[in-house]
Chains A and B, each alone.
Chain A
């Protein structure tokens, strides 16, 4: 598993795709942070994180599209499948490599909060009255970050699964974009639906509805479980794709 993990990480940076991903992620994060916090004169980071989740529509497929599709095209999956490793360790190795890229970049993007904290400190010094409530709420930011990372990991496992279905990277990317888009946009549609039953079902599919608790600083256990299960289910499905091909 470690060999595959290392190989995937390396391949991100030997091809342009890793740099493109990191660059676009950081640029998008910085831009969104400017607009949603400093630009709109607010210390509330939740808008920033929600906007960041929407940027995953483009970013996550960049990470996942080639994971299995390329192996299939180059016929190198035969090498992995005939090596003395289990299918699970092959899938997990690839998943963890993409996850490392994602979590790493997400952590780096936290430098966007430095201006907010600096600004808040100066404002507190200048304020004539008691000013402890001024500035960003660190707990909120941490819980949002946890939520965003969990959502990203869930999307990565979806992208991984899609990539295992096709040998065309572009097709894998487009399908992943479509799935993530639907999962995010459903939340917006949901507001206009009156029937309770439909709303309940859509609520189950869309990931954003569970994010609201994170934005107020609550580490919602059910939401964490929900996001982790999405990751787990799609990893399992990926393993099944390979199992089935072997037995088919």
Chain B
């Protein structure tokens, strides 16, 4: 449905989008993820024909956006970051204007009624947009994108500024739209992608650093090997025991205490379950185990790991992060690396090597 090939966009000497390629199939919901200024909005603006590309090609429904913009735009509904609303119009006038602007051929009254029901703006239909709350304005913006029921719908940060209830409503709406539209969605809220999207494309500094199905990422996240332990016993000896135990790659004492028990964080090797043997060892030494908890790893951790690895910050800052306990665990780094490698393969194998070099330089 959407095909982006070797897309490059330069603003003067500043490269906003650097050789991005990906494809979106019909009916897929894809989340574009990335920190601020990563190139998400630029990519979307090029996709919708608002900006041109420096090089590369973008096609929607088989039509090249740069060569044949008028036809291609007919297949796209777009909600920019700031909904493009005429504040002095009523919702009705605004939607009718959009209906005429897009040269829509469907039955007007019925079509607009349908859309109003979908985004739930029936009750403000006759009101002036200026007087609507942010949530309603956002919904009117979404309604605008749905007019003419385009095959491709592009949303740039659709849930920004909404209250939690509205966010959930918008997410449900997006999921429903995904049933018969192709949706691209940009965001920096990770739960949103996890909740809504079939596929996640992570962009950083204008490059794709990961491109993976959501379920794969979720599985990787759940395959968890970090535990927090609470053990009563002499701190140093316990720690030495933990570190010398086969299968353990990392063990550290945590600052918090629970009664006379100390807290520890332990990470095991891939594919090794150390929990049972750990229990027996502790029982043998008469050090009661009073708590064992799997440390959850969120998509967020992986995202930060990916973003950090793909664009390493200066060495000092990184060392500080590791010292203050904010560094990434082995697992996170591994998952991030795998994802990036996969994306690299999809992009023709150039990226993984590139990032490897960058990371090396950084560590030196």
Q: Which residues of A come within 8 Å of B, CB atoms?
A: 2-4, 6-7, 10-11, 14-15, 74-86, 246-247
6 A-B contacts, Cβ less than 8 Å apart? A7-B97, A76-B84, A82-B50, A82-B73, A83-B98, A246-B52
Verify B101–A4 contact, CB threshold 8 A: yes
B35 CB–A CB distance under 8 Å: no
Closest A-B pairs by Cβ, 7 of them: A3-B100, A79-B84, A84-B73, A76-B84, A3-B101, A82-B48, A84-B74
B102 CB–A CB distance under 8 Å: yes
Partner of B88, one of A11, A77, A83, A246: A11
Distance of A3 from chain B, by nearest CB (Å): 4
Contacts of A11 in B (CB 8 A): 86, 88
B327 CB–A CB distance under 8 Å: no
B164 CB–A CB distance under 8 Å: no
Contacts of B70 in A (CB 8 A): 84-86
Partner of A85, one of B50, B52, B93, B101: B101
Interface flags, B89-133, vs A, CB<8A=1, else 0? 100010001101111000000000000000000000000000000
Partner of A78, one of B74, B76, B84: B84
Interface flags, B33-71, vs A, CB<8A=1, else 0? 000000000000000111110000000000000000011
Distance of A159 from chain B, by nearest CB (Å): 21
Distance of A75 Cα from B82 Cα, bound (Å): 7
Verify A75–B80 contact, CB threshold 8 A: yes
B283 CB–A CB distance under 8 Å: no
Verify B87–A82 contact, CB threshold 8 A: no
Contacts of B84 in A (CB 8 A): 74-79
B85 CB–A CB distance under 8 Å: yes
Knowing A11-B88, A78-B80, say if A6 contacts B100 (CB, 8 Å): yes
Most chain-A Cβ atoms within 10 A of its Cβ — which of B49, B88, B101, B102? B101
Distance of B256 from chain A, by nearest CB (Å): 48
Q: List the A residue with the shortest CB-CB distance to B144.
A: A79
Q: List the B residue with the shortest CB-CB distance to A246.
A: B52
Contacts of A86 in B (CB 8 A): 70
Contacts of A6 in B (CB 8 A): 97, 100
Partner of A84, one of B50, B71, B85, B97: B71
Q: List the B residue with the shortest CB-CB distance to A86.
A: B70
Distance of B14 from chain A, by nearest CB (Å): 12
Contacts of A76 in B (CB 8 A): 84-86
Distance of A7 Cα from B71 Cα, bound (Å): 23
Knowing A14-B88, A75-B84, A76-B84, say if A81 contacts B101 (CB, 8 Å): no
Verify A82–B52 contact, CB threshold 8 A: no
Distance of A6 Cα from B48 Cα, bound (Å): 25
Distance of B239 from chain A, by nearest CB (Å): 57
B351 CB–A CB distance under 8 Å: no
Q: List the B residue with the shortest CB-CB distance to A93.
A: B101
Partner of A83, one of B71, B80, B102: B102
Q: List the B residue with the shortest CB-CB distance to A75.
A: B82
Distance of B67 from chain A, by nearest CB (Å): 14
Knowing A3-B97, A7-B97, say if A82 contacts B85 (CB, 8 Å): no
Most chain-A Cβ atoms within 10 A of its Cβ — which of B74, B78, B86? B86
Distance of B26 from chain A, by nearest CB (Å): 20
Distance of A11 Cα from B88 Cα, bound (Å): 8
Most chain-B Cβ atoms within 10 A of its Cβ — which of A4, A78, A80? A78
Verify A82–B144 contact, CB threshold 8 A: no
Distance of A76 Cα from B98 Cα, bound (Å): 12
Contacts of A84 in B (CB 8 A): 70-71, 73-74, 102-103
Contacts of A75 in B (CB 8 A): 80, 82, 84
Distance of A93 Cα from B32 Cα, bound (Å): 35
